Structure 1
Amino acid sequence: MGPECTEALQGLKKYISTPPLLSTPKLREELYLYLAVSEQAVSAVLIREVEKEQRPVYYVIKTLLDAETRYLPLEKLVYALLIASRKLQHYFQGHTINVLTKFLLRSVFSRVDFSGRTAKWAVELVEFDIRYQPKTVIKAQVLANFVTEFAPTQSTEYQNSCSIQVSRTTKLGEQCASEAWKLFIDTSNEEAIAQALDIAEGRRETTLFRLVAYQQQLIKSFNQKVFPRRFIHGELVLRKVMDHKRVPGEGKLGPNWEGPYKVTVVVENEAYYLEDIKGKAIPQPWNVVNLKKYYQ
């Protein structure tokens, strides 16, 4: 065995004998996220790179409910990202997260043929700085797969049948040979209830998705009918009378606008500096929503 093989073997022994201890990221450091899904669980591993070495920061795992196991594989992957953002929210808010995956997760949120829950997940994830990168090497992906593989499943917690050891005794008190009875549990009712709840949840999410689309359509239609209000230098305008400047006792009969005033300076964000007819400048700028054109 040559020196290169010996060095590689010693490096492998050192890596195996060194446990993957959790590492603390630095401020504003970019972190990397690996996702893994299975039929019964989803998991994620958040890591950081130090001198081209990936060190784990935290592990996240969630056992799927019966209704969640029927998600599409790509939906499960997005759900794993959502669970990671909820449980590791402080990391997602303070760092840029690079999701390493070979799937096009970015295109999932822009498609309209997905369910309403995917749209809600997209709204929840939009507040974080998440970037999607292709996965070129395995590295910490094996950790995410390992956590998912050993996740507890519902099948290990609930069984359709169980064996009961029963021992009988005679009238004289003599114990007879014990025999095993098998007790069967009918789960058809529970499955029907779970299916009905899943259907109701799907209809509710579809209705919510349609409601959001209808609201966006109304906003778009309203904005098309709204024309921006702008003024130029030297134009005469009226200023809205604020509540603290109204004359007590006038009530609704009092004027709602006062002026005219002349526009002296046009600033950004649709704000204007004014002066009255005598040339006295108004110290504070006024927003366009509180002004209107003066017609002589």
Structure 2
Amino acid sequence: MVDELPHVLWAHRTMPKTSNRETPFSLTYGTEAMIPAEIGEPTRRTLQGEKGYEEDLRLNLNLVEERREEAARREVEYKKKEIEKYYNARVREVKFKKGDLVLRENGATRKEDQGKLGPKWEGPYQVTWAGDKGAYKLADLAGKEIPWTWNSMQLRKYYA
């Protein structure tokens, strides 16, 4: 099992990563690795000779910083997209209509900290206006308008 470790590491270092589309080897050394089978076969890299290969290597080393910056940018973009996908898969969209009874999150209006056992929701309130983008205006059951607008993430359906 330990004998296989160098082969596994080699495979890991020479495989392009999904997040940045680069291999760890190329980001470290500025050029792609030559696999053992490529050394014996005639390829552009093996046929151009020592002098031409050194010139290509120097050019790649000059551009390695740009490649690293571009890979970092692609990785940030990829991670942002994956986080957004993860979040959106778990968000449940709730639509309330005018007249629905709801509870609102207690955090915005809590005057004093009631500890972790204090109530998390308060209400019920009645929806008096429902915007098309998830914004709502509320009133208490006596009809007194509650200041501010609320979004659906701060509201829960009230079941009497």
TM-score if structure 2 supplies the norm length? Answer: 0.52
Bigger proportion of residues as helix: 2
Unmatched 5+ residue regions in structure 1? Answer: 1-114, 117-188
Check whether the contact 1:247–1:254 (CA below 8 A) recurs between aligned residues. Answer: no
Q: Which of these residues, 236, 253, 269, is aligned with residue 117 of structure 2?
A: 253
Q: Between Structure 1 and Structure 2, which shows a larger proportion of strand residues?
A: 1
Which of 81, 84, 91 is matched with 1:216 structurally?
A: 81
Is the contact made by 1:237 and 1:293 (CA closer than 8 Å) also made in structure 2?
A: yes
Q: Which structure 2 segments of 5+ residues have no match? A: 1-20, 23-53
- 1:286 is displaced (CA, Å) by 2.1
| Residues 1:242 and 2:107 aligned together | yes
1:206 alignment partner, one of 60, 71, 79: 71
CA 1:211–1:244: 2 relative to 1, 3 Å = closer
Residue number in structure 1 paired with 2:8 = none
Deviations 1:142-197 (A, max 9, x none): xxxxxxxxxxxxxxxxxxxxxxxxxxxxxxxxxxxxxxxxxxxxxxx999655413
Gap change, CA 1:211 and 1:285, over 3 Å in 2: closer
Q: Does structure 2 conserve the Cα–Cα contact (< 8 Å) formed by 1:239 and 1:292?
A: yes
* 1:141-180 mapped onto 2 (5 Å cutoff): none
Q: Take 1:243 and 1:261, find their aligned partners in 2: how far apart are those partners?
A: 15
Structure number, greater radius of gyration = 1
- Equivalence for 2:9: none
Match of 2:142 among 275, 278, 281: 278
Q: Cα 1:243–1:252, aligned 2, differ >3 Å: closer, same or farther?
A: farther
Q: How far apart are the structure 2 equivalents of 1:207 and 1:224?
A: 26
| Cross-structure match for 1:293 | 157
Distance 1:206 1:284, change over 3 A: closer
Assess, with a 3 A threshold, how the Cα gap between structure 1 residues 245 and 218 changes in structure 2: closer, same or farther.
Answer: closer
Which ranges of 4 or more aligned residues in structure 1 deviate by more than 4 Å?
189-194
Question: Is this contact kept in 2: 1:265–1:273, CA < 8 A?
Answer: yes
| Counterpart position of 1:29 | none
* Alpha-carbon distance in structure 1 between the residues aligned to 2:109 and 2:139: 20
- The whole-number CA distance in structure 1 between the counterparts of 2:134 and 2:75 is 35
| Shift in CA distance, 291/243, structure 1 to aligned 2, threshold 3 Å | closer
Q: Number of residues paired by the alignment?
A: 109
**Structure 1 residues 247 and 269, CA, compared in 2 at 3 Å: closer, same or farther?**
same
SS state at 1:253 partner: coil
Counterpart CA distance in 2 for 1:253 and 1:242 is 13
| Paired-residue identity, % | 36
DSSP 3-state at the match of 1:284 = strand
Structure 2 CA distance for partners of 1:206 and 1:192, relative to 1, 3 Å: same
